[in-house]
Every structure is written in C-alpha cells, then in structure tokens.
Amino acid sequence: MIPFERRRQMLYAFENSEIVTLDDLKKILKGISESTIRRDLKLLASEGEIVLLHGGAARRMRGSYEIPFGSRSILNIKEKSSIARYAANLVADGEVIYLDAGSTTLRMVKYLKNKDITIVSTNALIAQELEGARAKCILIGGELLLSTASLVGPMTDSELENMYFDKSFIGASGFSKEAGVNTPDPREAKKKQIVRKNSREAYVLADSSKSGKSTLCKALDLKDVTIICEKETSILQETGNYLLTGG
C-alpha cells in the first residue's frame, strides 16, 4: 500500500473515532508493519492533525484549527473532484474569476486552464497546475500560511479591495446555521469578505463533511453565497441556496 493510501485510511479512522490505538490501525492497515504505522503517526502529529499517545493517538479537536493542506488533499477525493468539475463548468470564456486557497478550489484548475479567462488567486499552489494553460493567472501577494498554502494579510486585502470578479469560488472549513461559512483564521475570514463584496456571483465549495461544522471565525452569511456540495444536507435544505453535483 502506498503512503498516500495509508495516511488516507488513517485519517478516516480518526474521523470516526477520537482515539485510535496501534492495534486498531494494524487491523485497518493489514500487512503494514508497526514501525511504518508509527512513522505515519509521527508525520500526522507533526502536521498537528493528531496527538500521539502511548500505544496510539488521539484526534486533535478542530473547533479553531485548520487541517493542514497535505491532510485535506487526501480526504474526500471523489467528492472534491465532483464539486471542482461542476464549479468549473459555471465559468464562461471572457470572465474574470477568483479562486480561493483550498484543496477543492485547486482541483478546479485542470478544468479551467484551457478556457479564455483570467484567474485571480491567493492559492500559492496554483502555479504548479497551470503548465501549458491558455488561462491568464494573477497571483495575489501577502503572507504565506505554510499549512494551508494560502496568502493572507494586509497586502493581500489591499490588492483584493481594488479587484472585481464575475465569479468567485471560495473555500471553507465548515458551514453551519450559527457560524455561516467559517474558518479558524480571522485573516482568512476578512479576505473572503472582501472577495464576496467584489464579486457578482459567489460560490462556496464545500463537501458534505463540512456541513454543520463551526470554527472560530464567521466569514460569510449562508444567504450571501451559493454552496456547491455533492449531496444535500439538512442545513442546505434550510438555507435553500445551494447546487448539488450529484456525485
């Protein structure tokens, strides 16, 4: 089993249980040595995803915590790909769009790169996806958050204040009735607010695992955006402002 698949299965185990023992992981990861499992646990702990315990590990509480990009990118791959493809189909030639930081928005690029559009982004990883692209890309400057590959801060906000978008595609850590579209970082929240204000249409890309989750900072009211999700949730039913990919 390749490391990517091992860590994905481990992360799913922690999604379903707050504490997972080494014996639990041995049963899940059949044929994988204990030393390899321990190395993977140390890697996840170094990312802040879990806390190591004697004989296992505990899931780190996420109320005000942003999952590192490396971990997010291997969770819910099918759902994120479906959302990214659907969102990209909303973009027409000639438009100027904003792509937020995040693993789902980054997946949009392969469906957008051959369109005659301008992409403005604060996703530091976007450049590696644009080889041979027809689309024009403007990367906004600012402070780089290494864990999420996101550019934030006063420089970022200042540049975005003077830009206007046909459509914006925004990431989120969660969405709920109480906290709206939310993020653990106040700098991310402010950035999203500026982008929403300067966008003709705003979409939030969030798979159903983020439904009902609340983190530290409310960025946007649910009524002010359209959420693109792979399936319906009770919160989406109540807000009514959503699109379903069906995948």
Average pLDDT over residues 206-225: 92
Spell out the residues 6+ positions from residue 64 whose beta carbon is closer than 8 angstroms to its own.
184, 215, 216
What is the overall mean pLDDT for the chain?
87
8-28 confidence digits (pLDDT tens): 788 778 776 768 888 889 888
Pair of tokens at residue 89? 């189909």
Between CA 138 and CA 141 the distance in angstroms is: 10
pLDDT at 134: 95
Residue 62 clears pLDDT 60, i.e. is over it: no
- Kindly report, residue by residue over 68-86, the tens digit of the pLDDT: 545 554 456 788 999 999 9
Instruction: Output the pLDDT for position 243.
Output: 96
84 vs 164: CA distance, rounded Å: 22
In angstroms, rounded to a whole number, what is the distance separating the alpha carbons of residues 203 and 229?
A: 10
Q: Which two tokens stand for residue 80?
A: 């994120």
Q: Which residue has the higher pLDDT, 49 or 94?
A: 94
Q: Which of 175-179, 182-186, 243-247 has the lowest mean pLDDT?
A: 243-247
For residues 82 and 80, give the distance between their C-alpha atoms in angstroms, rounded to a whole number: 5
Higher pLDDT: 60 or 141? It is 141
The pLDDT confidence band at residue 61, using thresholds 50, 70 and 90, is: very low
Question: What is the crossing angle of helices 34-46 and 3-16, to 10°?
Answer: 70
